[in-house]
Each structure stands twice: as structure tokens, then as C-alpha cells.
Amino acid sequence: MKRTLAPAVFGLVVMVCSGVASAQQQGQERQQRPVKPVPPASELFYRTFTADQLARDDQATPVRPGGRGAPSPVPNTANVVEEIFARGLGPIVLGRRGQRNPDGSEKPVIVLTSQAEVYSRLRGSAGQPAASPRAGAQGGGGGATTGRQASVAASEQAGRLVRNLLALKINMIICENGITVNDPGWRLGNLSLAPGYGISRRPWIYENCEQCNAVCPGPCFMTSELNCRCYLEHLRTAGTNPAEVDQLKAPRRLRDLAAYADDLLANPAAVPGEQLEAINGTIELVNGAFATDLPFRPQDIVQWGGQGGRLVVSSTRPLSTVPFLVAE
């Protein structure tokens, strides 16, 4: 019996050793392969949408192709979101699955499985519920009213974060799965905030007005400190201290930034308001980086219907035109 099994055992040992040697050789070959160089920023094109664009009234429902002989309509962003689910790239999840409260219950997450659900979420507030309007009256004092106002403000910031994070995840999905025309080797989520920009607590302040004009959806103006400020963001956050530009401990890579925002949504009531404000401002900046005017023009549509039936839209501008993002 031993003589019969010995060759088989020997053969098995040889096969295992050969497999280990082969794996080691493959690992060495991988290490020796040259790292793919980062292409020039002028060759990396993307398209993004802001949360406000995706929530527009004229983007509520997908456009349907006309009948035979009818003029061909132009799709909208609802078609783009619908394409995500048609390709099996959903659901879109906001928040972190598996996180638990102190009592052992699982923290809620937002799971969106259709274009209609996405649009509804973009149109409504989705953060922690605001305090009751009667909360201040029941307290009978100014302190209670101030507390209620702070709670409402925190809830509004949390709802704003949900909408902004949802838009960011849509942008990453479409730019990484062929719904927009991109270099597949350089995904939007792998871009990073430029080291000089970081995530400031006042993200609408820029070193000069050239930087501000590149990203601000409105006028910029020079401050007394010789910085340049985005006027719309200034109005949105009136009353805050414009001199505070401390850096927050948040990741620079966009995919990691989205995961960081997911973690914040697990308990936004525990997050300082200025931190929510800073993350919101930064994600809004990113979402607007490659956005352009809506509605789509016919030349924005690369493919729709016909053979394959898939929707593909063009990119808008190269990375080289966005000073606060880099490919690393």
C-alpha cells in the first residue's frame, strides 16, 4: 500500500511546490511591472452634475424616444440616473451598512433602487428630523429657542450632505462605468483634492479671484484680507467668521471623501455644524467641477437607443481646467 501511495504523494508535493513557486514568480513579475504613468491632466476628461441640477423640475422624469417619423428628443439627467439602474449598477447606498447604535440596533442607511427614488431624495431633506417647531415655545425661554434653531440648522446641513453625497456617488458611477466618455484607467473617485486646497472650514475663500471664478457659480469679490470670496457661498453662510480657515481631518481622495461622508451620516447630530458645512462646501465644489449648463444639447449625447440601447453622454472639460483636483 505504501509503495502505491508514495508516487501520488510525491506528485502532490511537487504540484503544491510548483504552485507556490509559480505564485511567487507572478508576484515578482507584478512588482517589476512599470507603474502606469499619470497622463497629462489635459487628456483626462469628465462630466459631473450638482445636486441642484439633478433636482431641477425639468429633470424629474426620463425622456422617451419619439415614434417613427417623430423628431428625436434629447434625454435628460433623469435618463442618466435611470441608466445606472438599467445597467445593474445600483442600488445607491448612503451611509455605512453594519454600523450599530449603543443599544445594538443597526444605524439606518438610505438605499435607493430607482431613478424615481433618487429624484425624490434629491428634492427633499434626508438628514435627521428637525426639532419640533413647538420645542422653543414649550421651553418658555430664549435658550430653548436657540437650541431648537441649532437643531434645525444641523438637520438642514445633514439633509444637504445627503443630497450632495448622492450627487457625488452618481458622478462617480457614471464616470467609471462608461455612461460618460472617460479614460477608464483614471476614475473620478481616484482623483484627489489638490494639497494646496484641502478641506477648509470656509471653502469659498480662495487665494485669488482666478481660482474663485473657475469654480464659483456666480460673482467673486476681493476681501479686505486680499482673498477672493464666492459671493453665493458668502450669502449662504452669512454671520460666520471668514478668517477661520483651519483644516479638517478629512481624506483628499474623492472615493475616500465619499466614505468619510457616509460615516458622518451615521449620526449627523453628533457632528459639529461647521464640519458638516465644510464637507458640504467641498463636495459641492467637486460636483460642480465638470458640470455644465442644462438641458443637454444634441451634441452632448454620444449614444442613445439604437443598437445596444445604452445611453452615453460626452465629457465636458479636462482635469487641467480644475485647479483644485489632481490625478495622483
Closest by Cα among 156, 169, 136, 105 to 269 = 156
Task: Look at the alpha carbons of 87, 252, 232, 229 in this order and tell me if their dihedral is positive or negative.
Answer: negative
Closest by Cα among 278, 307, 265 to 121 = 265
- Per-residue pLDDT 10s for the chain (328 aa) are 444 444 444 444 444 344 445 555 554 544 454 556 778 889 999 999 999 999 999 999 999 877 677 778 899 999 999 999 999 999 999 998 877 777 777 777 999 999 999 999 999 843 333 322 222 223 333 343 344 444 555 678 889 999 999 999 999 999 999 999 877 668 999 999 887 665 554 556 677 777 777 767 667 777 766 677 776 665 555 444 433 334 466 788 999 999 999 999 988 888 887 788 888 988 999 999 999 999 999 999 999 876 556 999 999 999 999 988 999 8
User: Taking the domains of the chain in order of start, what are their residue ranges?
Assistant: 38-65+74-193+249-327, 202-245
Contact 328, 35 (CB under 8 A): no
